[in-house]
Structure 1
């Protein structure tokens, strides 16, 4: 058996994308034949694959990468042939990119990949993810067609479930983000740090105004002023503040990375400290777990905090935050699209003062998350058994 993965990348500089890869691969590893080969349809280095395999303890599981090369028809055909050899393909779409929120070209590329998987004859599984929003209504017939032809469809939040319910009558299974299962290890770097340790994740994407540089996500807040206001407010009240990058560009790259934004913020708020650069999402989660309170605009950074029991304050730029966390019974949220700058700063600082109450909510939410994600594994295991039996019968 060969199992494919779409929409994840294990050594992506965005640790949220690599968190999906680590967690998704690990969940499928746990419920499938250990001899089955894993194929990641994305750019992944040999070192990156080995680091993921070693970190997760995948043992002798064969795993390799087959990238897309859209400008070369010959190589794109090669990728399609590799898809044809898969029994099923699990597609995560980067967690939140089954949408045109990041621009129409990215969505069309993702739809092409899904279409290739469907036409290859492999069973396509749409893994837990966010669906929509779509501002370009012309793509909805293609979106509907993909969803209706998939073998299994999982949603990670209730707004997406509702959206799909209005788009198609097919069965959609509500779960949660697979990254809730990402493992973490011991970390002692912050053990001696006192008083209360606050992790503050700065999104480089929001800091620079999105990919367009012109407030692409229609934030009501001035994001840079919001960050300065929160961090300085925490420092003024005696907190130990660490600026955390969750998108760490490779050497010589900048892109949407958080490192430059954190460094710029530290210049304005010199009492804050820079967190280390993390090699992979497990390292990041292990470090975040040692904070007392975590504030962030990168959703998978906040998931890392939430799933390790840290009082978590999502600073949200899209509906995916509220959809995911409210689905776990956790309604703490600073909506950067609805609140003015000073109001958002005050709300964030108020939440910090109520961190004990937040931790109680986190504990309840983690139990909900564990229950929901087990549904994903159970359905994958059942499908894998059925497909294996069908293949034997056909032979």
Structure 2
């Protein structure tokens, strides 16, 4: 029964059409997929509470070589490229048919640390949304950094022009202030804490081995896109991986599995090929299977006893399931997110030496029971923080519901797990 004022019991509920900008239905970077699945789940919960149905159009990069794992009757996708983003092109047409656009910036891509091409795509599409007269909401994400003065000016202008802005950490809020943004920015956390997964079955009796997962980022292992220490790490990342594997090989009751979280046809991004390369040099370790979806990866990570990760959403998969984790940070996004959730055991790979990073990880391993308790606390805190996002979106949508198109069918997402 629809009890919203002005609607009869038989009148179909209004339907909101939401554009999900810089999300993806099949990104080989499973972190971006995790953001998409989680944000859809959050928006459906909010829409249900408001008594409306919702349709989504996912606007982002698509990978022809990777299977689609976000599939639902109320979800469709538009691949963004230069042609689609031309004025009057497919992107503008899609945006014009939306009631609002949620831009998550692929989590951390509204920055210039990944190069000008990516930054300009992220900036230009925001401008097109506002040019079309559509409400633009920046979903929880890292804001910046912007090392270039022009990039900072463009970013500040676009943040001011957005209708509602959420950041996933306090550092982003403070950074926006530093670049001249005085508008309200709501601090919450990463939506991937809502990613569904299958809990591992309880282990029957005492475990014979402690299973350690290590996520090796191909991007860091190969020096970034420029292959010349693009992220200005102070450690030797490949050497750290070798030394960690040697360390755990010396512990008789440890089993190590390498866990890829980006499975790309681009060699510079492909964790799987790097994990296989490392395995050949360390034949005692295994490599996790090529995951088919973000939820499948999270379900695997949830069954580990300790996790070391250089991909932030692989670390979030651990933290959100109570697995003790040693995040290997290459940018402030790690510290911003984890510190805000009272989890401070983050190794800053742009400040530590290889030796001190190794020591920090081994000390964390020795404290894994304590870190597991901290992870459970942080996961609970994250759920509370996401309630702030839900409430903010709910209030924002409530004033935009009247006179919307009726829903053709009642559709609920069935997202791949």
TM-score by length of 2: 0.87
- Gaps in structure 2 of 5+ consecutive residues: 1-15, 406-417
Q: Is residue 155 of structure 2 the alignment partner of residue 143 of structure 1?
A: yes
Give the aligned partner of residue 200 of structure 1.
Answer: 214
CA shift at 1:391, angstroms?
A: 6.3
Kept in 2: contact 1:128–1:177 (CA 8 A): yes
Change in Cα spacing, 1:85 to 1:154, as seen in structure 2 (3 Å) is same
Q: 2:54 aligns with which of 36, 40, 45?
A: 36
SS in 2 for 1:22: helix
Q: 1:278 aligns with which of 288, 291, 294?
A: 291
Q: Is residue 120 of structure 2 the alignment partner of residue 108 of structure 1?
A: yes
Within a 5 Å distance, the mapping from 1:16-35 to structure 2 comes to 16-32=31-47, 35=53
- After superposing the two structures, state which structure 1 stretch, 159-168 or 91-100, moved more: 159-168
Q: Distance in 2 between matches of 1:146 and 1:366?
A: 31
Q: Distance in 1 between matches of 2:111 and 2:63?
A: 27
Q: Is residue 240 of structure 2 the alignment partner of residue 222 of structure 1?
A: no
Kept in 1: contact 2:258–2:275 (CA 8 A): yes
Task: Give the superposed CA RMSD.
Answer: 2.3
Kept in 2: contact 1:43–1:65 (CA 8 A): no
Change in Cα spacing, 1:143 to 1:295, as seen in structure 2 (3 Å) is same
Cα deviation 1:23-56 (Å, max 9, x = unaligned) = 1111112112663221111245899897424xxx
Larger RCO of the pair (alpha carbons < 8 Å, separation 6+): 2
Q: Distance in 2 between matches of 1:189 and 1:263?
A: 29
Kept in 1: contact 2:140–2:191 (CA 8 A): yes
Give the aligned partner of residue 266 of structure 1.
Answer: 279
Q: Is residue 118 of structure 2 the alignment partner of residue 118 of structure 1?
A: no
Q: Distance in 2 between matches of 1:152 and 1:73?
A: 23
CA shift at 1:186, angstroms?
A: 4.0
Give the aligned partner of residue 210 of structure 1.
Answer: 224
CA shift at 1:351, angstroms?
A: 0.7
Kept in 1: contact 2:85–2:125 (CA 8 A): no
Q: Distance in 1 between matches of 2:26 and 2:374?
A: 32
CA shift at 1:187, angstroms?
A: 4.5
Give the aligned partner of residue 415 of structure 2.
Answer: none
Within a 5 Å distance, the mapping from 1:250-261 to structure 2 comes to 250=265, 253-261=266-274
Change in Cα spacing, 1:230 to 1:275, as seen in structure 2 (3 Å) is same
Give the aligned partner of residue 376 of structure 1.
Answer: 389
Q: Distance in 1 between matches of 2:109 and 2:157?
A: 17
Q: Is residue 405 of structure 2 the alignment partner of residue 387 of structure 1?
A: no
Q: Distance in 2 between matches of 1:84 and 1:280?
A: 30
Give the aligned partner of residue 181 of structure 2.
Answer: 168
SS in 2 for 1:388: coil
Q: 1:12 aligns with which of 10, 27, 39?
A: 27
CA shift at 1:146, angstroms?
A: 1.0
Give the aligned partner of residue 359 of structure 1.
Answer: 372
Kept in 2: contact 1:68–1:75 (CA 8 A): no
Q: Is residue 245 of structure 2 the alignment partner of residue 231 of structure 1?
A: yes
The structure carrying a bigger helix percent of its residues is 1
SS in 2 for 1:387: coil
Q: Distance in 1 between matches of 2:255 and 2:355?
A: 22
Q: Is residue 257 of structure 2 the alignment partner of residue 245 of structure 1?
A: no
Q: Distance in 2 between matches of 1:217 and 1:109?
A: 20
Q: Distance in 2 between matches of 1:390 and 1:168?
A: 34
- Gaps in structure 1 of 5+ consecutive residues: none
Q: 2:108 aligns with which of 83, 93, 96?
A: 96
SS in 2 for 1:377: helix
Q: Is residue 90 of structure 2 the alignment partner of residue 78 of structure 1?
A: yes
Q: Is residue 66 of structure 2 the alignment partner of residue 52 of structure 1?
A: no
Q: Distance in 2 between matches of 1:23 and 1:225?
A: 35
Give the aligned partner of residue 64 of structure 1.
Answer: 76
Aligned residues: 384
Q: Distance in 2 between matches of 1:351 and 1:269?
A: 22
